[in-house]
């Protein structure tokens, strides 16, 4: 199973999923005023409403008619606003992660496992947190 983020916005996420038998699916998350919903190929699979909405959804791909088999996936969302884009032209949610039992298929933002790694040096921390380069890598100090 492969996945690719197609669109990440403040109230919407689109993920293209290609299963092992080369079928393509579109997994969508939408935040409306009073509810959130998860759509697979345009059909509602899950929804949550109210003030404390779900941030974790479970789905099964390629399940047989008798209910057995299939690949279980978990969609995790961090719906808080990502303020790393200072222009404000394209606000996004902070993190998205689609994961199977083997590990993450696609991860973005605050839910990406790479963001949990501690930087090895001060220069790495500056580059990650502020996007700044410290010194010239071609000429060591």
In tens, the pLDDT along 45-80 reads: 998 988 788 889 998 887 888 888 888 999 999 888
The separation between CA 98 and the C-alpha centre of its own chain, rounded to angstroms, equals: 6
Q: How far is CA 51 from CA 9, 31, 58, in A?
A: 20, 12, 20
**Domain count across the chain:** 1
Domain hosting residue 32, numbered range: 2-109
pLDDT band for position 132 (50/70/90)? low
Contact between 109 and 61 (Cβ < 8 Å): no
Decide the pairing of beta strands 35-40 and 92-100: unpaired
Record the pTM.
0.72
Confidence (pLDDT) at 75: 92
Residue 88 pLDDT exceeds 90: no
- The answer to whether residue 54 sits within a structural domain is yes
pLDDT of residue 140 exceeding 90, the answer is no
Residue 87: the pLDDT is: 55
Judge whether 14 lies within some domain.
yes
């Amino acid at each position: 199973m492969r996945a690719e983020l197609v669109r990440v916005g403040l109230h919407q996420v689109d993920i293209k999923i290609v299963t092992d038998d080369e079928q393509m699916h579109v997994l969508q998350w939408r935040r409306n005023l009073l509810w959130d919903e998860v759509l697979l190929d345009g059909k509602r699979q899950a929804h949550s409403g109210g003030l404390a909405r779900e941030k974790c959804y479970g789905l099964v791909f390629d399940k047989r008619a008798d209910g057995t088999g299939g690949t279980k996936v978990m969609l995790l969302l961090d719906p808080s606003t990502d303020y790393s884009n200072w222009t404000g032209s394209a606000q996004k949610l902070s993190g998205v992660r689609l994961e199977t039992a083997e590990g993450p298929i696609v991860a973005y933002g605050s839910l990406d496992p790479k963001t949990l790694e501690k930087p090895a040096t001060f220069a790495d921390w500056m580059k990650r947190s502020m996007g700044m380069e410290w010194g010239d890598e071609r000429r060591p100090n």
